[in-house]
Amino acid sequence: MARINRKFLCGVSAAALMPFLFAGAALAQEAAGQSGTTDAILEEIVVTATKSAQGANVQNIPTAITAYGADQLAALNFRDLQSLSYAMPNVQLEDIGTTPGVANFSIRGLGINSSIPSIDPTVGIFVDGVYLGITTGAIIDSFDIAAIEVLRGPQGVLFGRNVTGGAVLVRTTAPSDTFKASARLSAESGLNLTGDVVVTGPLVDGKLSGKLAIYGSSDGGSYKNLFNNSSFGEADQIVIRPALRFTPSDDLEFLLRLELGDAQGDGPAAQNHAIYSRTSFDFAVNEPGYYENDWKQATFETNWRVPLGSGLITNIFGWRDFSADALSDIDATGGSGFHAQIVSEQDQISNELRYAGTFGSVDVTTGLYYFQQDLLYIERRLLDTNLADANPAVTRIGGGIGDFSTTGAFASADWHLNEAFTINGGIRYSHEKKDSSISRVRGFFDPLGAAGLDVPGEGQTGGNMVARTLVISDPGYAQKWNDISPRIGAQWQPTGDTQVYGFFARGFRSGGTNFRHTALGTKPAPFDSEKQDSFEFGIKHDVADFARLNVALFLNKIHGMQREQNLPDPLSGVSQLITNAGDATIKGFEAEGRVSITDDLLVTFQAGHTTGKYNSVLVDLSGVGGIGDPTDFALKIPRLSPWSYGANIIYDLDLGMGVLSSRLGYNHRGRAFYTDNNLGTLNAVDTVDANLTFTPNGSIWSLSVYGTNLTKEVSYGGDTQLPNIGAFGGDGAGPRPNPTFSPLNKGRILGAEVRVKY
């Protein structure tokens, strides 16, 4: 199937935009002296995680959180959320790779293994206060970022459902009252060219300001497809982001953010472990595939300062329209055992109205929330599993449609008993409704039930990819949940440099239906919600300006744990079965810190450890011995890496003519299991990153050279097990490893970048 070859928005390619993006540097004239990377790392970030009227210092928040400002992200060679995947303890910000850009984030061992849009995540992603309703398209090249906050542990009171693992908060920059301009141009091995320009300033002095940000990238592909020895991994992206800020008075602000985006490229670089070593970057696919993501979105934020409690009323309205079209070589061979095409469409609106203020010794935040999204998902599977058949191709198609909505009300309070002691409390009520209909992934006359009822598809399928329509086999799934998620805790701050905290919190994750139902003889079965009880104890301590150490201990009890079992199936390629698998306990610790050896030499470090076990099992996870067999209880929870740790050494050298900043970083993440039966695994990874940045005195520009994954560690987004037959690269009973679909992440990247700020 040929790749869709569309031009970008406005009819221009990312490569064609490069000269215009870099031309923004001409706006710069003169600048003051520059500071080094150590100053950027030491900069304190005001975070929005508490949704308070004034924001909060990260050291004063009674929960585990890591925050990055714009300069800190630049020092880490930030490209997208996945590039932070190894930078924090017990955090995995992975792209599953089935189609590029699908977030399968995991925090503290709570994550998903799915590209199905009807499956809700354990880690919520919020952009400028707006929740992204699906994980598809969540990992895109990012720019124009003011800050990123990663909250570990359940955040149900302030952020609602689907944040049992944690939340990732992304803030873009707001229009400025003073003129500012910045530009960036980089070239990486591949060849991957990226560039962006941001211009902001007043339009009506003191009342109206604006911003225009444009980003473009063109990646020629850093992989080699051994099927035809061609370069692989081509990808292009463009994002246009205008914004307006209107301040009719000192107490009132209106902020409108718009975004148009288009990303497209080759399908996954899929490796098959029956053919190639899991420690190599070798792969061969006869179908290069493609992906194309298009989106447009708007956020309208109102902030009104009121006398009541010296408070702030905030309203954030969000709208997003997203569509995806992709084709992937799932068998990951030079044959055509299993190719899959998907179409996904989502339209969402949301609104949050909240108040934050102070009444004597009590800080209060309360609000109302609404979210609604419409989903369409269509999947077509082209199967060729009989190598002896001259005309073996089988087409199966199906999917689902859904109308999902959530309403909620929340309140939280911090009661300062005195200067040292604070009681924290909060509660959230959520009502969730999901209406969905399923079209089983099927052929022309596949049996749909025990009675042998045949329902013909459209033509030879259950739907039409071009018209984006489905022939529904199982309509009318109506699900509702009412949830109350509380949080209670305490803080003790004996000095301004020390905080001791502890809390109990409950999290709620949505149930739903499986839009990828491939078990032809069985009716689709909805799954129920998942709940979590979490206990956390932490200490945050600063030693003057010399050192910092933050430590957290946690214990999570998950009830009705949702699991998606990926099982080899010769008839459908892979079968996905989503159930409430049982109850589990996950516990561990994490630490983050830094030490200033001198004014110019800084060391940062992080470490995390998790262990988990099933307390009860309601399905046969292992596939042997039946439900509740000892083999089920012996299984490890997927995406739970026992150890993660790392360190960075940052040094600023004054050369007289300017500052040369250097960073050398090392991070480790231990081996983890990918599938519930523990047959699929994710490699242990030890990454080494480095960069050098030169900033001349009194200049507006800087030059960086950098490298990521310098040791060429091999990692992949998933390790789906395929049928052990010849069409999938298998040999029956062995001795080769089982066939897999394992999308490779990039290897070593070398790059250079010029940044200009005015």
Q: Could you tell me the sign of the dihedral formed by the alpha carbons of 731, 735, 736, 740, in that order? A: positive
The encoded tokens of residue 53 equal 């009227």
DSSP state of 710: T
Question: What is the band of 16 on the pLDDT scale with cuts at 50, 70, 90?
Answer: very low
Q: Which amino acid is at 33?
A: G
**8 Å CB contact between 36 and 43:** no
Instruction: Provide the residue count of the chain.
Output: 758
Mean pLDDT of 233-247: 97
Helix then strand count (H, E) for the chain reads 5, 41
b/e burial code for range 414-430 (CB count within 10 A of at least 16 → b)? bebeeeeebebbbbbeb
Mean pLDDT of 643-647: 97
**8 Å CB contact between 647 and 689:** no
Residue 33 phi/psi, 5-degree rounding, is: -60, 155
**8 Å CB contact between 81 and 93:** yes
Query: What fold is seen in the domain 24-757?
Result: Maltoporin; Chain A (2.40.170)
The pLDDT assigned to 230 comes to: 96
**8 Å CB contact between 224 and 218:** no
701-711 pLDDT, tens digit per residue, is: 999 999 999 99
Q: Which residue has the tokens 């209880």?
A: 633
DSSP state of 461: B
For the cut 50, the answer to whether the pLDDT of residue 455 exceeds it is no
**Alpha-carbon distance 22 to 187, whole Å?**
12
For the cut 70, the answer to whether the pLDDT of residue 103 exceeds it is yes
The pLDDT assigned to 21 comes to: 35
The pLDDT assigned to 22 comes to: 36
For the cut 50, the answer to whether the pLDDT of residue 587 exceeds it is yes
Q: Which amino acid is at 165?
A: G
Among the listed ranges 461-475, 593-607, 717-731, which one has the minimum average pLDDT value?
Answer: 461-475
For the cut 90, the answer to whether the pLDDT of residue 720 exceeds it is yes
The more confident residue out of 460 and 563 is 563
Question: What is the band of 39 on the pLDDT scale with cuts at 50, 70, 90?
Answer: confident
CA 464 to centroid of chain Cα atoms: 30
Express as a percent the part of the chain with pLDDT over 90: 76
For the cut 70, the answer to whether the pLDDT of residue 208 exceeds it is yes
For the cut 60, the answer to whether the pLDDT of residue 29 exceeds it is no
Residues paired with residue 509 on neighbouring β-strands, in sequence order: 530
Pick from 684, 729, 714: which is nearest to 223 by CA?
714
The pLDDT assigned to 218 comes to: 97
DSSP strand pairing (166-172 vs 123-127): parallel
Mean pLDDT of 646-663: 95
The encoded tokens of residue 140 equal 């895109």
For the cut 60, the answer to whether the pLDDT of residue 154 exceeds it is yes
For the cut 60, the answer to whether the pLDDT of residue 101 exceeds it is yes
Residue 514 phi/psi, 5-degree rounding, is: -95, 110
Question: What is the band of 471 on the pLDDT scale with cuts at 50, 70, 90?
Answer: confident
Q: How many CB atoms lie within 10 A of CB 445?
A: 11
For the cut 70, the answer to whether the pLDDT of residue 139 exceeds it is yes
Mean pLDDT of 748-757: 96
Among the listed ranges 19-23, 187-191, 244-248, 270-274, which one has the minimum average pLDDT value?
Answer: 19-23
Q: Which residue has the tokens 């990992």?
A: 139
For the cut 90, the answer to whether the pLDDT of residue 74 exceeds it is no
Rg from Cα positions in the chain: 26
Residues paired with residue 302 on neighbouring β-strands, in sequence order: 254, 315
**8 Å CB contact between 288 and 203:** no
Q: Which residue has the tokens 């086999």?
A: 473
Question: What is the band of 42 on the pLDDT scale with cuts at 50, 70, 90?
Answer: confident
Mean pLDDT of 379-402: 82
For the cut 90, the answer to whether the pLDDT of residue 667 exceeds it is yes
The more confident residue out of 617 and 464 is 617
Domain boundary assignment for the chain: 24-757
The pLDDT assigned to 286 comes to: 96
Residue 25 phi/psi, 5-degree rounding, is: -65, -25
For the cut 70, the answer to whether the pLDDT of residue 12 exceeds it is no
The encoded tokens of residue 50 equal 């508490």
The more confident residue out of 16 and 157 is 157
20 Rama class: left (phi>0) / alpha (psi -120 to 50) / beta: alpha
Average pLDDT along the chain: 90
Residue 296 phi/psi, 5-degree rounding, is: -145, 145
Pick from 88, 100, 163, 84: which is nearest to 717 by CA?
100
Question: What is the band of 462 on the pLDDT scale with cuts at 50, 70, 90?
Answer: low
Residues paired with residue 254 on neighbouring β-strands, in sequence order: 246, 302
Question: What is the band of 388 on the pLDDT scale with cuts at 50, 70, 90?
Answer: low
Which residues in 384-519 belong to E strands, given as ranges? 394-416, 421-442, 463-464, 469-470, 474-495, 498-509
**Alpha-carbon distance 538 to 674, whole Å?**
30
The encoded tokens of residue 415 equal 């009661």
Mean pLDDT of 466-482: 90
**8 Å CB contact between 708 and 747:** no
Question: What is the band of 297 on the pLDDT scale with cuts at 50, 70, 90?
Answer: very high
DSSP strand pairing (547-569 vs 720-721): unpaired
Question: What is the band of 520 on the pLDDT scale with cuts at 50, 70, 90?
Answer: low
For the cut 60, the answer to whether the pLDDT of residue 453 exceeds it is no
